[in-house]
Amino acid sequence: MKILVTGANGQLGQDVVKLLGANHEVHGYGRDQLDITNESQCMEVITALRPDVVIHSAAYTAVDLAETEVKQAYAVNADGTKNLVIAAESVGAKFCYISTDYVFDGTSVTPYKEDDLTNPQSVYGKSKRAGEQYIESLSSKYFIVRTSWVYGSYGTNFVKTMLNQAKTRDSLKVVSDQLGSPTYTIDLALFLEQLVMTEKYGIYHASNSGSCSWYEFACAIFEESGLKVNVEPCTTEEFPRPAPRPRNSVMEHGTIRANGFEDLRPWREGLKAFLVELEQNN
């Protein structure tokens, strides 16, 4: 399969390029090679390459900054997605969009299903939802994959931040009233590979299975790393941020099961595997 990957220098994109490159002809594009906000460039690159699949992982992800950089967030997450999907459709390519738990408001007491009403509260969430809507209306062969709490070898993330904090501090406060599912980039990338080889189109929720709070996640990181750090739970109100966070962003994996895919492994197993990978890389 010929696969074009956007956001190829990002946290998820780098693992997608690396893993899928073992079995497919993968062309990774970073911001320097492909400006997704440039409509004619998107059309040019995609019509020249004629990929079978576009995996669109490029995004404006600075959640707090987006509250003031509204135009930039929409230019990338909404208009950039529209440019790509129009170009992909013109060559008959499948389109796989990496979306987010932030499309929900977080007030549900049960895990979110794929067809639950979206109600994003932040500019980031609203711009990503706008991207989803463009895909739903413009693509005939799409996969929208909503994920959450992503971490991996590349870039900065919660796991690396906690490990770095442990070098200089023996106690930390971590928010305990936000629930979600941590997602290891390798597990997500392997799921995307399975998915794009099929024609089982639609909306998917894909994260490592199970859920926890940020506080529980931090405790697990230190336990699995054998680090002695005293972690204290605190409330969201104690750590005010410009952009609102969903209190509950746990997502039901109904479409994965309904279409006969294997669910992603439990989040704690993903975390263990990542810590091993991190040690090997160091």
pLDDT digits (tens, 9 = 90+) for 269-278: 999 999 999 9
pLDDT class of 75 with cuts at 50, 70, 90 = very high
Closest to 215 in 3D by CA, of 164, 245, 172: 172
Average pLDDT on 47-60 reads: 98
CATH 3.60.20.10 for domain 2-156+182-209+251-265, yes or no, is no
pLDDT grade for 195, boundaries at 50, 70 and 90: very high
pLDDT at position 70 is 98
What DSSP letter does each residue of 228-253 carry, written as one string?
A: --EEEEE-GGGS--SSPPPSB--B--
CA–CA separation, 217 and 180 (whole Å) = 10
**Spatial separation of the C-alpha atoms in residues 52 and 3, rounded to whole Å:** 6
The verdict on pTM exceeding 0.95 is yes
Which residue in 60, 97, 112, 124 is the catalytic one? 124
Model confidence at 80, in pLDDT bands (50, 70, 90)? very high
Whether the CB-CB separation of 271 and 159 falls below 8 Å is answered with: yes
201 an active-site residue? no
- Say which residues have a Cβ less than 8 Å from residue 63's Cβ, sequence separation at least 6: 102, 122, 124, 241, 243
The model's pLDDT over 83-138, given as tens digits with 9 standing for 90+, comes to 999 999 999 999 999 999 999 999 999 999 999 999 999 999 999 999 999 999 99
Residue 219: its pLDDT value, please? 98
- pLDDT score at 124: 98
* pLDDT average, residue stretch 154-160: 95
Residue 282 has pLDDT above 90, yes or no: no
CA torsion 124-181-204-129 (nearest 10°) is -10
Question: Which residues have a Cβ under 8 Å from the Cβ of 259 and sit 6 or more positions away?
Answer: 198, 200
Whether 1 and 26 have beta carbons less than 8 Å apart is answered as no
pLDDT value, residue 69: 98
Q: Which residues, listed in sequence order, are joined to residue 55 by a DSSP beta bridge?
A: 5, 96
CA distance 181 to 150: 9
> Which of 206, 187, 204 has its CA nearest to residue 269?
187
Average pLDDT rounded to a whole number, residues 144-156: 97
Q: Taking residues 5-27, report their average pLDDT.
A: 98
Decide: 22 and 63 in contact? Cβ < 8 Å.
Answer: no
* Per-residue pLDDT at 239: 87
| Mean pLDDT computed over every residue of the chain | 97
Is the torsion defined by CA of 35, 37, 39, 42 positive or negative? positive
pLDDT digit string (tens) for 212-262?
Answer: 999 999 999 999 999 999 999 999 999 889 999 999 999 999 999 999 999
